[in-house]
Chain A
């Protein structure tokens, strides 16, 4: 495991031992905060992290993309509202909605989820938490859809614990959308225990119908390494439940390569 450098680009070396050569792009906007954590999670999951810059007009031949958390453009007014117009977001949207058999897998975490809803790659939107406060705590989630590119290695209804940290995390959508999400099984992650922010139907994360685009407010990339994750039964900070998101995408990509492109 190479160190994630504090300064400079965080990509792993080109001759890294990436499983199946999977190249996962990690997008950095000016105010992105969790890109280094996301890159490290990609590498721990077995992939090669490829830095993508918001102003780039190319996807650099990546096999999947993670849009990490932060405050992409400061987000003083509406989180993600400006980011959706970034040149790179146009390329991501095109590739994620392509008619091909293997549309680009995209994961949006926290601010990344907000950006994906602003870009209309996922339904719904996030508003301020119902208690109006920033909240940072470990959060239990139920994985309710294991057929997406990012959740394939979880078991159905598996309970996982990952950190949650946001102030604008209340998921809202109109009734028709909520009914469709529930009816088609598009709720990927649901809050278990207390609802931390007033999200409709306790929704923590959703997927699109094709299962290539997933967004969630909690942070799986912060629970990938014992000693730095969520608290679990084995000790403080030992939880690595989030790592399965990153091993899932590697395995989905490996599967799609070996099966001739079908995701």
Chain B
């Protein structure tokens, strides 16, 4: 990205950031790459490869937009099309869950694939919702926080469905039991899951563990959360109702989990800003506990039309998902986001994975009641924009458009890729054969995999 050509000069340089309630650096401190500017400078090079996109993916983005993406749009596409969000290499396998389902299997299914969590009928007006998600890489880098925030994410999915979370579980896979790195990773993972869950009052009611060298440097840290609700309490994420307001609430947005966005630091003039940011998010279970109660109260009083938690890809993902599930579009002013690091650039704000945040759609009539609930629980919030009938997701920075995309569901537009598969030594296939049940691990479980394990806690 060319620095000179993207400079915005019309801002008041004397603006004092401390007067800005949201804690933002004055917009003049950034190069704001607007949609208008992007259309006028088609040849500007963007760091798409550094953001993990492949050449054909970048071409596809240009094709979809009919121009080059802005820096903020590139940031959004890079996270929305990452494996983490779009499952582009695993969706060929995951598709089987849709293809192989029979009527018998779904007779008690109330909410299926595509929402934040699945819901199953329990009878007598009760329903249970489950969510399981892996947090493998963060847990390998920083075991305690990686695993803890894995719990945080799935618990917010459970809340999003309208349920009260009641328990967690953790199926885990680690490298060789004697390997020193296993000793580094395991205690943090186990205490991270237990510690975060316990702070929310959620017991860890079960799990499993397998040690095998195939998981060396790539532990599988799966966390499952269970929630319980009445049928009438089920909520789905969508931003319907033109004119309804979009609100972000919970923790402030910081520099967590935007390691990948650091290449966009060229957005900033200021070389002194903290450009090396933690790639792993840090959890605050107390904020999460307050969010649980606050959201359940909002649902109970029927104050929100749609709700979405912020996890991977943060505001990018939440706005896209809310907009793509609804019937209209969405218009958001990004400078209204409350920050805990005022030096964040627009791209970083869109990508930030700061924990314990939720986004909701509220009718103007309910706005005041919504604010009362926030005040009761001491939760910070900011109104970011509104639902529109344009069919587009438009994000502005101080009034200038920096993102303008159709509301088509982003992750599903990601091109599929096929991952290379290799059977580990001692196994003949990566996939179960149709005639044999799936084999887990070796025929003989590796040492430490089948014994009493109170020592894990």
Q: State which of A26-34, A87-95, A151-159, A188-196 sits at the interface with chain B.
A: A26-34
Answer yes or no: A1 CB below 8 A from chain B CBs.
Answer: no
Answer yes or no: A16 CB below 8 A from chain B CBs.
Answer: no
- Chain B residue numbers with a CB within 8 Å of A34 are 201
- Give the contacting residue for A6; candidates B195, B229, B286; CB below 8 A: B229
**Interface contact A30-B290, CB-CB below 8 Å:** yes
Proximity bits, B186-197, A CB within 8 Å = 1, else 0: 000000001100
Query: Given contacts A7-B296, A134-B195, is CB(A74)–CB(B201) below 8 Å?
Result: no
Answer yes or no: B230 CB below 8 A from chain A CBs.
Answer: yes
Within 8 A of B (CB), among A162-185: 165
A222 to chain B, nearest CB (A): 11
Distance, CA A68 to CA B203, complexed state (A): 17
Within 8 A of B (CB), among A111-151: 133-134, 136
Distance, CA A55 to CA B199, complexed state (A): 21
- Chain B residue numbers with a CB within 8 Å of A133 are 457
B378 to chain A, nearest CB (A): 6
Residues of B within 8 A of A (CB): 163-164, 194-195, 198-201, 203, 228-230, 233, 284-287, 289-290, 293, 296-297, 299-300, 376-378, 457
**Interface contact A30-B378, CB-CB below 8 Å:** yes
By beta carbon, the residue of chain A nearest B195 is: A134
A163 to chain B, nearest CB (A): 10
Distance, CA A55 to CA B198, complexed state (A): 24
A138 to chain B, nearest CB (A): 14
Q: Is the interface of B mostly helix, strand, loop or mixed?
A: helix
Distance, CA A73 to CA B203, complexed state (A): 20
Within 8 A of B (CB), among A83-102: none
**Interface contact A33-B457, CB-CB below 8 Å:** no
By beta carbon, the residue of chain A nearest B233 is: A7
- Chain B residue numbers with a CB within 8 Å of A33 are 200-201, 289
**Interface contact B289-A31, CB-CB below 8 Å:** yes
Proximity bits, A68-84, B CB within 8 Å = 1, else 0: 00110111100000000
**Interface contact B286-A31, CB-CB below 8 Å:** yes
**Interface contact B457-A6, CB-CB below 8 Å:** no
A-B contact count (CB 8 A): 51
**Interface contact B230-A6, CB-CB below 8 Å:** yes
By beta carbon, the residue of chain B nearest A73 is: B286
A-B contact pairs, 14 of them (CB 8 A): A6-B229, A7-B299, A8-B297, A30-B289, A31-B286, A71-B199, A71-B286, A71-B289, A74-B284, A74-B286, A76-B286, A134-B194, A134-B198, A165-B198
Distance, CA A34 to CA B202, complexed state (A): 11
Distance, CA A211 to CA B195, complexed state (A): 35
B27 to chain A, nearest CB (A): 34
- Chain A residue numbers with a CB within 8 Å of B296 are 6-8
- Chain A residue numbers with a CB within 8 Å of B293 are 30
A93 to chain B, nearest CB (A): 22
B455 to chain A, nearest CB (A): 11
Proximity bits, A27-60, B CB within 8 Å = 1, else 0: 0001101100000000000000000000100000
- Chain B residue numbers with a CB within 8 Å of A70 are 201
Closest 10 CB pairs of A and B: A74-B286, A33-B201, A6-B164, A7-B296, A8-B300, A7-B300, A30-B290, A31-B289, A31-B286, A71-B199
B304 to chain A, nearest CB (A): 13
Residue from the set B201, B289, B296 with the largest chain A CB neighbour count within 10 Å? B201
